[in-house]
Protein backbone atom coordinates (compact mmCIF):
# COMPACT_ATOMS: atom_id res chain seq x y z
CA UNK A 1 0.00 0.00 0.00
CA UNK A 2 2.90 2.33 0.77
CA UNK A 3 4.37 1.59 -2.62
CA UNK A 4 1.09 2.24 -4.42
CA UNK A 5 0.69 5.49 -2.42
CA UNK A 6 4.20 6.69 -3.29
CA UNK A 7 3.81 5.92 -6.98
CA UNK A 8 0.32 7.50 -7.12
CA UNK A 9 1.58 10.72 -5.55
CA UNK A 10 4.68 10.88 -7.74
CA UNK A 11 2.52 10.35 -10.86
CA UNK A 12 0.11 13.11 -9.80
CA UNK A 13 2.96 15.56 -9.28
CA UNK A 14 5.27 14.69 -12.15
CA UNK A 15 2.98 13.42 -14.91
CA UNK A 16 -0.28 15.24 -14.19
CA UNK A 17 1.41 18.38 -12.83
CA UNK A 18 -1.09 18.57 -10.00
CA UNK A 19 -0.50 20.77 -6.96
CA UNK A 20 0.58 19.20 -3.67
CA UNK A 21 -2.92 19.16 -2.09
CA UNK A 22 -4.36 17.28 -5.10
CA UNK A 23 -1.44 14.87 -5.17
CA UNK A 24 -2.11 14.23 -1.50
CA UNK A 25 -5.50 12.73 -2.46
CA UNK A 26 -3.77 10.34 -4.83
CA UNK A 27 -1.38 9.37 -2.03
CA UNK A 28 -4.19 8.80 0.46
CA UNK A 29 -6.21 6.69 -1.97
CA UNK A 30 -3.13 4.57 -2.60
CA UNK A 31 -2.42 4.20 1.09
CA UNK A 32 -5.95 3.18 2.07
CA UNK A 33 -7.19 1.19 -0.92
CA UNK A 34 -6.48 -2.21 0.63
CA UNK A 35 -6.87 -1.22 4.29
CA UNK A 36 -9.60 -3.79 4.94
CA UNK A 37 -8.03 -6.58 2.94
CA UNK A 38 -6.20 -8.44 5.69
CA UNK A 39 -9.03 -8.47 8.23
CA UNK A 40 -11.97 -8.83 5.85
CA UNK A 41 -10.74 -10.48 2.65
CA UNK A 42 -14.26 -11.60 1.78
CA UNK A 43 -15.63 -8.08 2.13
CA UNK A 44 -12.62 -6.32 0.70
CA UNK A 45 -13.33 -2.76 -0.36
CA UNK A 46 -16.88 -2.65 1.01
CA UNK A 47 -15.69 -2.21 4.62
CA UNK A 48 -13.13 0.47 3.89
CA UNK A 49 -15.61 2.41 1.75
CA UNK A 50 -18.19 2.35 4.55
CA UNK A 51 -15.59 3.51 7.07
CA UNK A 52 -14.45 6.40 4.88
CA UNK A 53 -18.03 7.47 4.13
CA UNK A 54 -18.75 7.60 7.86
CA UNK A 55 -15.75 9.87 8.29
CA UNK A 56 -16.79 12.19 5.47
CA UNK A 57 -13.65 11.63 3.48
CA UNK A 58 -13.49 13.41 0.10
CA UNK A 59 -15.84 11.54 -2.31
CA UNK A 60 -13.16 11.64 -5.02
CA UNK A 61 -10.91 9.54 -2.80
CA UNK A 62 -13.71 7.14 -1.93
CA UNK A 63 -14.65 6.69 -5.59
CA UNK A 64 -11.03 6.10 -6.46
CA UNK A 65 -10.69 3.35 -3.85
CA UNK A 66 -14.03 1.82 -4.87
CA UNK A 67 -12.91 1.55 -8.49
CA UNK A 68 -9.50 -0.05 -7.94
CA UNK A 69 -10.81 -3.41 -9.10
CA UNK A 70 -13.74 -2.87 -11.47
CA UNK A 71 -14.31 -6.59 -12.05
CA UNK A 72 -14.42 -7.32 -8.33
CA UNK A 73 -16.25 -4.32 -6.89
CA UNK A 74 -18.44 -3.33 -9.82
CA UNK A 75 -17.46 0.35 -9.81
CA UNK A 76 -16.00 1.66 -13.07
CA UNK A 77 -12.95 3.96 -12.94
CA UNK A 78 -13.95 7.43 -14.15
CA UNK A 79 -11.42 10.09 -13.15
CA UNK A 80 -7.76 9.98 -14.03
CA UNK A 81 -7.03 9.17 -10.38
CA UNK A 82 -9.46 6.20 -10.56
CA UNK A 83 -7.86 4.83 -13.72
CA UNK A 84 -4.36 5.26 -12.39
CA UNK A 85 -4.96 3.45 -9.11
CA UNK A 86 -6.31 0.49 -11.07
CA UNK A 87 -3.25 0.51 -13.33
CA UNK A 88 -0.65 1.19 -10.64
CA UNK A 89 -2.11 -1.27 -8.13
CA UNK A 90 -1.85 -4.17 -10.56
CA UNK A 91 1.62 -3.31 -11.81
CA UNK A 92 3.15 -2.25 -8.53
CA UNK A 93 2.74 -5.68 -6.97
CA UNK A 94 3.92 -7.35 -10.14
CA UNK A 95 7.06 -5.22 -10.36
CA UNK A 96 7.78 -5.81 -6.68
CA UNK A 97 7.54 -9.56 -7.24
CA UNK A 98 9.92 -9.18 -10.18
CA UNK A 99 12.38 -7.23 -8.00
CA UNK A 100 12.34 -9.87 -5.27
CA UNK A 101 13.62 -12.59 -7.58
CA UNK A 102 16.58 -10.48 -8.78
CA UNK A 103 19.88 -10.56 -6.84
CA UNK A 104 20.12 -6.75 -6.92
CA UNK A 105 16.35 -6.25 -6.68
CA UNK A 106 15.44 -2.88 -8.27
CA UNK A 107 19.06 -2.09 -9.12
CA UNK A 108 19.50 -2.18 -12.90
CA UNK A 109 15.98 -3.51 -13.47
CA UNK A 110 14.70 -2.59 -16.91
CA UNK A 111 11.32 -2.30 -18.57
CA UNK A 112 12.09 -5.06 -21.05
CA UNK A 113 12.58 -7.70 -18.36
CA UNK A 114 9.28 -6.74 -16.73
CA UNK A 115 7.48 -6.92 -20.09
CA UNK A 116 9.00 -10.37 -20.62
CA UNK A 117 7.77 -11.56 -17.21
CA UNK A 118 4.30 -10.27 -18.01
CA UNK A 119 4.29 -12.61 -21.00
CA UNK A 120 5.28 -15.52 -18.74
CA UNK A 121 1.96 -16.69 -17.26
CA UNK A 122 3.61 -18.77 -14.52
CA UNK A 123 5.43 -15.75 -13.06
CA UNK A 124 3.35 -14.06 -10.31
CA UNK A 125 0.40 -15.95 -11.73
CA UNK A 126 -2.02 -14.32 -9.29
CA UNK A 127 -1.54 -10.96 -11.02
CA UNK A 128 -4.23 -10.76 -13.69
CA UNK A 129 -2.73 -9.96 -17.09
CA UNK A 130 -6.27 -9.33 -18.26
CA UNK A 131 -6.74 -6.58 -15.65
CA UNK A 132 -3.43 -5.02 -16.66
CA UNK A 133 -4.54 -4.92 -20.30
CA UNK A 134 -7.92 -3.55 -19.28
CA UNK A 135 -6.38 -0.83 -17.08
CA UNK A 136 -3.88 0.09 -19.78
CA UNK A 137 -6.68 0.48 -22.31
CA UNK A 138 -8.58 2.78 -19.96
CA UNK A 139 -5.60 5.03 -19.24
CA UNK A 140 -4.31 5.02 -22.82
CA UNK A 141 -0.77 5.33 -21.46
CA UNK A 142 1.84 2.97 -22.92
CA UNK A 143 2.60 0.09 -20.56
CA UNK A 144 6.34 0.72 -20.94
CA UNK A 145 5.98 4.28 -19.66
CA UNK A 146 4.07 3.22 -16.56
CA UNK A 147 6.41 0.32 -15.80
CA UNK A 148 9.45 2.58 -16.09
CA UNK A 149 7.85 5.14 -13.78
CA UNK A 150 6.97 2.51 -11.18
CA UNK A 151 10.48 1.02 -11.20
CA UNK A 152 11.92 4.49 -10.57
CA UNK A 153 9.47 5.52 -7.88
CA UNK A 154 8.78 2.52 -5.72
CA UNK A 155 12.31 1.18 -5.36
CA UNK A 156 13.08 3.01 -2.13
CA UNK A 157 9.67 2.60 -0.50
CA UNK A 158 9.63 0.08 2.32
Q: Which residues bind Fe ion (CB under 5 A)?
A: 34, 89
Cα separation, 45 vs 23, whole angstroms: 22
Q: CB-wise, 82 or 89, nearer to Fe ion?
A: 89
Which of 20-56 are b and which e, b meaning 16 or more Cβ less than 10 Å from the residue's Cβ?
Answer: eeebbbbbbbbbbbbbbeeeeeeebbeebbeebeeee
Q: CB-wise, 111 or 127, nearer to Fe ion?
A: 127
Smallest distance, Å, CB 104 to Fe ion? 25
Cα separation, 79 vs 130, whole angstroms: 21
Smallest distance, Å, CB 157 to Fe ion? 14
- Helices 59-66 and 80-100: crossing angle in degrees, nearest 10, is 50
Smallest distance, Å, CB 82 to Fe ion? 13
Residue 115: name the closest of 144, 140, 138 by CA: 144
Q: CB-wise, 22 or 34, nearer to Fe ion?
A: 34
Q: CB-wise, 20 or 133, nearer to Fe ion?
A: 133
Smallest distance, Å, CB 41 to Fe ion? 10
Amino acid sequence: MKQVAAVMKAWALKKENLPEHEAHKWWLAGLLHDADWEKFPGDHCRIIIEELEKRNIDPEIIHCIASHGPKHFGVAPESKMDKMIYMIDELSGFIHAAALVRPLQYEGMDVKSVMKKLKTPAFAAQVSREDIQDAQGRTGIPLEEIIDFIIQHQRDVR
